[in-house]
Amino acid sequence: MKQHNVIILGGGMVGAAAALALSQLGLKVALIETRPVKREFDTNEPYSLRISAIQRSSENLLKSLGVWDAITARRITPFIDMRIQDWQGFATQLSAHDLHEPNLGHLVENDVIAAAIWDSLIEHPNCTLYIAQTKQAAQDGQGNWRLNLDNGTELHSPLLIGADGAHSQVRQWMGIEQDINDYQQHCIVGNVRTEKPHQQACWQHYSEQGIFALLPLSSHTCSIAWYVTPEEAPLHCASNTNEQAEAITYASAGLLGRLTPISEFVSFPLIRRQSQRYAQANALLIGDAAHTVHPQAGQGVNLGLLDIIALRETFSYALAHGQPIHDLRVLSRIERARKHDATLVQRGMEGLNWLFSNQPINNRLRTISKPFAQNPLASSLLANVALHGRLTGLLE
Ligand SMILES: Cc1cc2nc3c(=O)[nH]c(=O)nc-3n(C[C@H](O)[C@H](O)[C@H](O)COP(=O)(O)OP(=O)(O)OC[C@H]3O[C@@H](n4cnc5c(N)ncnc54)[C@H](O)[C@@H]3O)c2cc1C
């Protein structure tokens, strides 16, 4: 039987970063993950398929955790421009140069982020890692958790944090419902060689068929995010390389010339999920376990990492003032700090999607919104979202 201050279920990017942040606060943390994280890395390896746009707020968090150097030592790509256009000639651009910033963020493989954090966790004396399945979870009369793992270990803690992704087991143990919106859209991801240079820009093309994004990696190499119907997704993923090349070159409107696949294509169903509560006495949800967003503006993991900033600040204050960190009053502060932001980002993504969809009324709206897009307030709002993932920061 092992006693910890906190048990975290799920050691993806968000759960691992939470475990490191709380270990650094002096808490005894148990991190349970079912899949071992691949920590070895060779720069000659092809890019993995899961790549995230990491914004400044996340970079700053990862720096404060002491893992940013380990991430940059593996492989990252800064992007300096975002270029958005639609099939009717509307085009707008956000440039790091105009904001007096070195870049607008970095493209990083999800595995690279997780591996860099795990390297630090393995060495941290306050954190114990378990690669295991949880066979049973139960709470006693005081709310303390007991988890039985399939390797025979029994873990006890007054606080359980769910960082176990969109299908969170912890959320189910807490009995918390979700508000769900199935977009009836799939996102195909894969890596491609581009004929023209990507100019360190993220490109997004909106057409009547959907959205197509190109995210810069190494020279003449991009990751694609291609939004299609649930019926089209398996067909595109299964078609041969030549057919895929034709289809993606067309879907990208030839933005970067001919595109040639250099990896398999895989697709993800897109669903907005908002847990009705993030906090309960003795339990908390963070990352995708709490909220998922449409990925078109690359906000998902950035929102999860913002959860950790709120978690660390709240626990740091509670510990300094002798407040139990498993108390609902403490955990509710994190929910209040984060749920509002997550909702705003979720709805913002839906608004963007709606605005650029092909209904005639939206054609008019887009025309009206052209001057707005060139307005300094609009660009600073966009910059705030791009760099910090927050709509509310402007008002602070
Ligand atoms: C196509 C696509 C593109 C995206 N692009 C971006 C982007 O550019 N920028 C961005 O910010 N976000 C992006 N996202 C969103 C981002 O990938 C997620 O928000 C992020 O992965 C969430 O991290 P997480 O750690 O909360 O959850 P996950 O990544 O889902 O990790 C959960 C972890 O918990 C583990 N786990 C699950 N159940 C258990 C259990 N019972 N016991 C133990 N462990 C368990 C899993 O093995 C996993 O390691 C994208 C998403 C998609 C689908």
Residue 244: per-residue pLDDT = 98
Residue 393: per-residue pLDDT = 42
Q: Which residue minimizes the CA distance to atom 14 of ligand 1? A: 300
Question: What is the residue type of 6?
Answer: V
Average pLDDT (375-393) is: 59
- Give the domain ranges of the chain: 2-39+62-177+276-395, 180-270
Residue 391: per-residue pLDDT = 47
Q: Which residue minimizes the CA distance to atom 31 of ligand 1? A: 12
Task: Tell me how far CA of residue 85 lies from CA of 229, 247, 256, 378, 392, in angstroms.
Answer: 21, 19, 13, 17, 26
Above 60 in pLDDT, residue 394?
no
Q: State the pairing for strand pair 178-194/259-261.
A: antiparallel
Residue 396: per-residue pLDDT = 31
pLDDT tens, position by position, 11-27: 999 999 999 999 999 99
Whether ligand 1 lies within 6 angstroms of the CB of 295 is answered as: yes
Q: What's the CATH class of domain 2-39+62-177+276-395?
A: alpha beta
Whether ligand 1 lies within 6 angstroms of the CB of 168 is answered as: no
pTM: 0.93
Same fold, 2-39+62-177+276-395 and 180-270: no
Residue 364: per-residue pLDDT = 57
Determine contact, residues 175/262, Cβ cutoff 8 Å: no
Residue 99: per-residue pLDDT = 87
Which helix (DSSP H) or strand (DSSP E) does residue 267 occupy?
strand 266-275
C-alpha–C-alpha distance, residues 101 and 104, integer Å: 7
166 band by pLDDT with thresholds 50, 70 and 90: very high
Q: Quickly list H helices, 5-163.
A: 13-24, 56-64, 68-74, 110-123
Report residue 326: phi and psi, to 5°.
Answer: -90, 0
Whether ligand 1 lies within 6 angstroms of the CB of 14 is answered as: yes
Residue 359: per-residue pLDDT = 58
Whether ligand 1 lies within 6 angstroms of the CB of 134 is answered as: yes
Reported as half-sphere exposure (CB side, CA atoms, 13 A), residue 137 has a value of: 23
Whether ligand 1 lies within 6 angstroms of the CB of 9 is answered as: yes
207 band by pLDDT with thresholds 50, 70 and 90: confident
Pocket test for ligand 1, best of 288, 296, 387 (most atoms within 8 A of CB): 288
Determine contact, residues 83/201, Cβ cutoff 8 Å: yes
Above 80 in pLDDT, residue 239?
yes
pLDDT tens, position by position, 93-102: 889 998 889 9
Q: What is the DSSP letter of 148?
A: E
Domain topology for 180-270: D-Amino Acid Oxidase; Chain A, domain 2 (3.30.9)
Residue 387: per-residue pLDDT = 65
374 or 183: which leads in pLDDT: 183
Between CA 339 and CA 184, with CA 349 as vertex, the angle to 5 degrees is: 105
pLDDT tens, position by position, 297-332: 788 999 999 999 999 999 999 999 999 999 999 999
C-alpha–C-alpha distance, residues 287 and 20, integer Å: 15
